[in-house]
Chains A and B, each alone.
Chain A
Amino acid sequence: MNSACLALAIALPIVGGALMPLLRLPDKKRNLLIEILVLATSALAFACVLRRPETNFVLFHLTGNMTFSLRLDGLGSVFTCLIAALWPLATLYAFEYMRHEERTTSFFACYTMTYGVTLGIAMSEDLVTMYLFYELLTLVSVYLVMHPMTRKALRASRTYLYYSIGGAAFAFIGLVFLILYGTTTNFVLGGVLDMEKVGGNVQLILLVYVLAFLGFGVKAAIFPFSGWLPKASVAPTPVTALLHAVAVVKSGAFALMRLTYYSFGTDFLRGTWAHFAVMSIAMISVIYGSTMAVKETHFKRRLAYSTISNLSYVIMGVTMMSPAGLLAAMCHMVVHAVMKIGAFFCSGAVLHQSGIEYIDELNGLGRRMPFTFGTFVIFSCSLAGIPLFGGFISKWCIAMAAVETAREIPYAYAVVGVLLYAALMTAIYVFTVVVRAFFPDRGSVTPHPEVTDPNWEMCLPLAVFAVATLVLGLHSGPLLDVLQSIANGGF
């Protein structure tokens, strides 16, 4: 396939989204158009993945050896597929969810543009290009956070903005160092550092790696830079679900994979203090996220904290610095995307149908919205890592990678411990919801007797995600095979 298709896949939603407000269509037609646009992009993206263009596509030259160019490799394909699969469904959900909101056209314009930008991150050939899309992602998605236009939303959007751009600023240091000390800025599995140039500056480069890690980690909500994520849950649910559980935060995790495995290289990093540092950061984030989630009583914020902890699962996988670690990270990236977007959609459905935001108000709602909470049980089990559900497989992979790494670096056993601590916390914070919904305290009243399950536009994505969670749990062999070969550099 022609490599220009990559650019087309990115440009389609960006341009389409940007033009949308100019068309001034009535809501129905606009929705149809957007869905077609998104589906077409997804189709194109899948086509790109299936018949991968061999060559890269250079958008333009920046300075001598810096180009903005696109190329699809294994890791990028995984992310592309993930995004392309989730976006149409999330858009569908958003139509129904946003029906009664204002300024929907500009919302959907940004929503669609974000799609293109995220694809850009997935398809970037080098660090510079990724950095560009990374910054753009912040900018287009910030509008989505501020969309409710309440004081809270505005404050959240500013926080998001400062955190993200600040993070990118530190990632920028890594970028500059790679330009100077690397053979190229392109992503090559195994890293691109030029050891001759590095020479005696090993410690410095390690420091830079940690800085860049923290920088990109901001989007992946690592502790202590995770403050924006729970705040940003004021955004409409389709945004929290798709962006703050998948697109944006996974871009951060994705960037960390690129940084660790494809830029600095694991051979260079393994066993150094930087390795320990990033591993510790990931573990602390997991503990922080999962503990805070237990404390939080706001439904969406609880899920947001859960996202913090789960993203750091991915990062723990990344910090194993081995092919198995990369495999585990990718696996959890995929699985978490599916289950968390589902869980968020459940919370969104609750909010949309009943207006309930806090968990202690959910008394007995499971009876009223059996479908929504039925799927929520599936996502909960998956999040908690119960076998047969997707989450178990990815946790299994992470643990296997950790134990393998721990043979050389015993510190990695702590990762397994943290994983299980977090799993317990996860069980606590998801199952309390389930229990409250299905087994309300005797005497507590279900406040909204007329609440029902939402209509098909919201239920369909839920069903699809629930089925996907189960399929990932039951039959993950093919997925793992593909990820395995990517992690080993086969693609």
Chain B
Amino acid sequence: MMITWMFGAAILLPVLSGLFLLLRRGKIQNRRLKCVGIFLVMALTALLAVGLICSPDYELTVWRLTDTISLTFRLDGLARLFMGMTVAAWTLGGVFAFEYMKHEENEDRYFGFYLIVLGVLLALDQAGNLVTLYLCFEMMTLTSLPLVLHNMSHEAVMAGLKYLFYSIGGAFTALFGIFYLFANGLTGSFTPGGYLSAGTVSYTGTTGMTLFVLLLIIVGFGTKAGMFPMHGWLPTAHPVAPAPASAVLSGVITKAGVLAVVRVVFYMVGADFLRGTWVQYTWLTLALITVFMGSMMAYKEQLLKKRLAYSSVSQVSYIMFGLATLTVDGFVGGLAHFIFHSVIKDCLFLCAGAIIYNTHRTRVDELRGIGKEMPVTMWCFTIVSLGLVGIPPFSGFVSKWYLAVGSLGSGTGVFTWLGPVVLLLSALLTAGYLLILSIQAFFPGADFDYADVKKHEVNALMTVPMILYAAATLLLGMFPGTLIGFIQNIASAVL
């Protein structure tokens, strides 16, 4: 009973306060009060979420749409992992935004939707069956749209629409699969290990068709994760959003696609069903293409935020690759990379935001010597970049290690070695497109004129989140045991 209340509160509190903010937008004059209020809401939500995370597993059916379609939420390891990441990223991003949004208009709308998306994401993380998952997925798309097109320039609106249509298109593609699975008997809630491999339900679909719809689901939900061939929206949409929004979009919302794929593949169908089929190979191929292509594009890109967005394209497909190996190690590596990449990419975008906020510079080549102006920001930037490249002792190394191990042990023929090679190549490219920035920032070269460079760092509201992220990158890299152990528990249940 208590759980029900907590669950309801965790979702409704941010949604309702977000709505309240939207309705009263522009009417609250005292900004400080407003920010405190928003912070309280986020903190309270975080507390509730933590409370939920610490509570035992549960499954709640909150509503029945029809006799067969119910809205069910369930808490399990995976949900805990995602919820934890979500509230952490949201709180930090929110704090950063208190300062950052000063230079944008319509901040009430921003925070309103920001809070609503938080609630929706918490619901998404706990979605207990296919329909609920789909519902939350669509809701997430719709409510996060205002974050993307926030500044309402023509470019932003168009990017927002692109985001919307790609996401919805992807969701509909996945919906085909959901229709098929559901109509053929997969109506239950998510179960570790899935139904089909275990043969626990009477399933009427044919194997060929099931595999086909699984591919649709992977590609469909993979849209959100920016997986090739449906990645086009991501480099357009993420950069135009305000920086804190880009951070959570890249760090958390793209991962919703990952979550959905995991739920379907590992919790509905079962990994064994997929193992060794053409769908697995297609999935691996798509993931690797995305990994490589994303890095290449990022390397070429000159706009900082866009470069980061391409980097996200590449990195999220690391996760996809790990999952696609269908091995315990790959799974662990994938989910670990999910956490690590979220942390790192959040931080990177916040750094980029801080730079834009402070200096209005958006292009990479304008950043020479900026390390002298904003040392804290650039130090954080450097640390997390190292993490992303995968240099020990930073966190990225751990996940990439597991990914490589998983790939090597997956028995997928050419992919066993091709995977690690591509990952390695991509890591090199990552170094190429991120570390070069740090180098230029701190070592602008002999011809750089230090005269008019003054140190003017952003204030604590912005630096603290970045520092926390950077610290997390380091700590998670040095002491990954707990997290890896937790993920391994999940993995052993589903594989």
Measuring CB to CB, which residues of chain A are less than 8 angstroms from any residue of chain B? 381, 384-388, 392-393, 396, 399-400, 402-404, 407, 413, 416-417, 420-421, 423-424, 427-428, 431-432, 435, 439-443, 473-477, 480-481
Contact = CB atoms under 8 A, between A and B. Distances in A.
A428 to B, nearest CB: 5
A477 B179 CA distance: 18
A403 B169 contact: no
Interface stretch (B138-146, B379-387, B478-486): B138-146
Given A387-B135, A417-B176, A476 B66 contact: yes
Contact of B63 (A385, A427, A443, A474): A474
B180 interface: yes
Main SS of chain B's interface residues? helix
A399, A402, A424, A439: most-surrounded residue (chain B CB, <10 A):
A439
Contacts, number: 101
Interface string B134-173: 1100110010011001011110110011001100110011
Contact of A407 (B149, B172, B173, B204): B204
A475 B180 CA distance: 23
Nearest to B156: A442
B183 interface: yes
B154 to A, nearest CB: 5
13 contacts: A385-B172, A387-B138, A388-B65, A396-B66, A396-B69, A403-B179, A403-B184, A416-B179, A421-B172, A423-B168, A435-B149, A439-B160, A442-B152
B164 A427 contact: yes
Given A424-B169, A442-B151, A442-B154, A396 B139 contact: no
B146, B152, B182: most-surrounded residue (chain A CB, <10 A):
B152
Contacts of A413: 209
A39 B95 CA distance: 57
Nearest to A423: B172
Nearest to B149: A439
A476 to B, nearest CB: 5
Top 4 nearest A-B pairs (CB, nearest first) are A403-B183, A387-B135, A399-B179, A420-B172
Given A404-B183, A442-B151, A477-B67, 17 more contacts: A384-B168, A386-B138, A388-B135, A393-B65, A396-B66, A399-B179, A403-B183, A416-B179, A420-B175, A420-B176, A424-B168, A427-B169, A428-B161, A441-B152, A442-B154, A443-B154, A477-B66
Contact of B66 (A388, A393, A399): A393
Nearest to B184: A403
Interface string B106-141: 000000000000000000000000010011001100
B183 A400 contact: yes
A440 B152 CA distance: 7
A396 B146 CA distance: 28
B27 interface: no
Nearest to B153: A442
A387 B64 CA distance: 12
B183 A387 contact: no
Contacts of A475: 65
A387 B153 contact: no
B134 to A, nearest CB: 6
Nearest to B212: A413
A440 B69 CA distance: 37
A481 B138 contact: no
B180 to A, nearest CB: 6
Nearest to A410: B209
A386 B135 CA distance: 7
A441 B66 contact: no
Contacts of A440: 152, 157
A474 B65 CA distance: 5
Contact of A435 (B64, B139, B157, B182): B157
A427 B168 contact: yes
A407 B161 CA distance: 37
B157 A439 contact: yes
A473 B71 CA distance: 12
Interface residues of B, number: 38
Contact of B153 (A399, A435, A441, A480): A441
A435 B168 contact: no
Nearest to B63: A474
A432 B161 contact: yes
Nearest to A432: B161
A393 B66 CA distance: 8
A246 B168 CA distance: 27
B179 A396 contact: yes
A385, A393, A481: most-surrounded residue (chain B CB, <10 A):
A385
Given A388-B135, A407-B204, A381 B142 contact: yes
Contacts of A432: 161
A475 B153 CA distance: 40
Contact of B134 (A387, A417, A473): A387
Nearest to A401: B183
Contact of B67 (A399, A473, A481): A481
B149 A476 contact: no
A381 B139 CA distance: 10
Contacts of B154: 441-443
Contacts of A399: 175-176, 179, 183
Contacts of A428: 161, 165
A419 B204 CA distance: 22
Nearest to B183: A403
B152 A439 contact: yes
B65 A400 contact: no
Nearest to B169: A424
B164 A431 contact: yes
Nearest to A380: B142
Contacts of A480: 66-67
A387 B65 contact: yes
Contacts of A396: 66, 69, 179
A431 B161 contact: yes
A403 B178 CA distance: 11
A416 B139 contact: no
A473 B131 CA distance: 13
A325 to B, nearest CB: 13
B169 A435 contact: no
A282 B371 CA distance: 63
Given A388-B135, A424-B169, A476-B65, A439 B146 contact: yes
A475 B64 CA distance: 7
A420 B173 contact: yes
Contacts of B175: 399, 420, 423
B183 A435 contact: no
A399 B172 CA distance: 12
Nearest to B181: A403
Interface string B206-227: 0001000000000000000000
B179 A400 contact: yes
Contacts of B176: 399, 416-417, 420
A399 to B, nearest CB: 4
Contacts of A474: 63, 65
Contacts of A407: 204
A387 B131 CA distance: 8
Contacts of B135: 386-388
A423 B168 CA distance: 9
Contacts of B146: 439
A475 B154 CA distance: 40
A435 B172 contact: no
A442 B104 CA distance: 13
B85 to A, nearest CB: 24
Interface string B34-73: 0000000000000000000000000000011111010000
B183 A386 contact: no
A480 B172 CA distance: 23
Contacts of A384: 168
